[in-house]
Amino acid sequence: MTILDKIIADKYKEVSLKKSIVSMSHLERSALFGRETSSLSAALKASDTGIISEFKRRSPSKSVINQTASVQDVASGYENAGVCGMSVLTDGKYFGGSLDDVLLARASAQLPILRKEFIVDEYQIIEAKSYGADVILLIAAVLTRDEIKALSETAKSLGLDVLLEVHNLEELQKSIMPSLDMLGVNNRNLKTFEVSTDISKELATHIPDDFVKVSESGISSVAAIKDLQPYGYQGFLIGENFMKTKNPGHSALEFINELKG
């Protein structure tokens, strides 16, 4: 079993248990469920930097990244830095995150928030909306085309943006459909955890222009972004590069200033 297989197996169990504790109708009564969402894809289209910053405490590949930063401080710091959106990891077992992190980020900043999660069930999309997220992530590697269609259409019906993540051409070709807003290419090989932006370059020409192109993982320099922009990428998801510093918001500000310069 790969690490991804283990995460997904655990996720099905977790969602099943959650459903037995908190019903979908209960989630739909959340004060935030009726909130008008902010579009990340629109923010990326309007931006000349396209930075999506991340809040991540740890990961299976890097273990501890930052266990001391508060999500409220990081969210307000990122917003002050001028990022387009903020990705918040909500998986507990492997990434040390929770839905409460989305809630606290929402209370601290107005920017679009992506719930970064291994989504396998409509229930998680209802959760995302009820905790104040604006965007959901779908991972093509763990979903069939029919599942991608059903989940993305559910998200769109709730006013949420959809970022679909792919790792290769096969995943991309099975996934292209009108209910997606952004197509993200993950530069990290989920089997080996090796990182290379070459995959973003290879897949760029296969992504139709209707979608905002996002490059994810392994982007740690302004040079890497400038290298990818000619390929049509408008979004750049940066996680560990900011989170491994003492003040992620300040690191993001310095990075964006350098990128603009």
User: In the structure encoding, which two tokens stand for residue 237, read together?
Assistant: 């998801």
Q: What is the pLDDT of residue 239?
A: 84
| Catalytic-labelled residue, pool 216, 240, 241, 251 | 216
Position 106 confidence tier, pLDDT thresholds 50, 70, 90 = very high
How far apart CA 43 and CA 206 sit, in angstroms, is 23
Look at residues 101, 106, 107 and name the one whose alpha carbon lies nearest to residue 134: 106
Calpha distance 54→86 (Å, rounded): 5
For residue 56, indicate whether it is catalytic. Answer: yes
pLDDT digits 0-9 by tens, 136-154 = 999 999 999 999 999 999 9
Query: Catalytic residue among 11, 53, 116, 117, which?
Result: 116
Residue 117 annotated as catalytic:
no
Single-letter amino acid, residue 186: N
Is residue 54 flagged as an active site residue? Answer: yes
Instruction: Give me the catalytic one of 217, 240, 241, 251.
Output: 217
Site of tokens 């969210």: 75
| pLDDT for res 62 | 78
Residue 59 annotated in active site = no
In the set 56, 59, 152, 213, the catalytic residue is 56
Residue 53: is its pLDDT beyond 90?
yes
User: 209-254: per-residue pLDDT in tens?
Assistant: 999 999 999 899 999 999 999 999 999 999 899 999 999 999 999 9
- Tell me the average pLDDT across 155-178: 98
Mean pLDDT of all residues in the chain?
96
Q: Would residue 122 show up in a list of annotated catalytic residues for this protein?
A: no
Active site residue 19: no
> pTM for this one?
0.97
Confidence of residue 1 (pLDDT cuts 50, 70, 90): confident
Pick the catalytic residue from 79, 165, 171, 240.
Answer: 165
Of the listed 59, 175, 186, 251, which one is catalytic?
A: 186
Spot the catalytic one: 53, 54, 59, 152: 54
pLDDT per residue as tens digits for the range 19-41: 999 999 999 999 999 999 999 99
Say whether 240 is catalytic: no
pLDDT at 126: 98
pLDDT of residue 216: 97
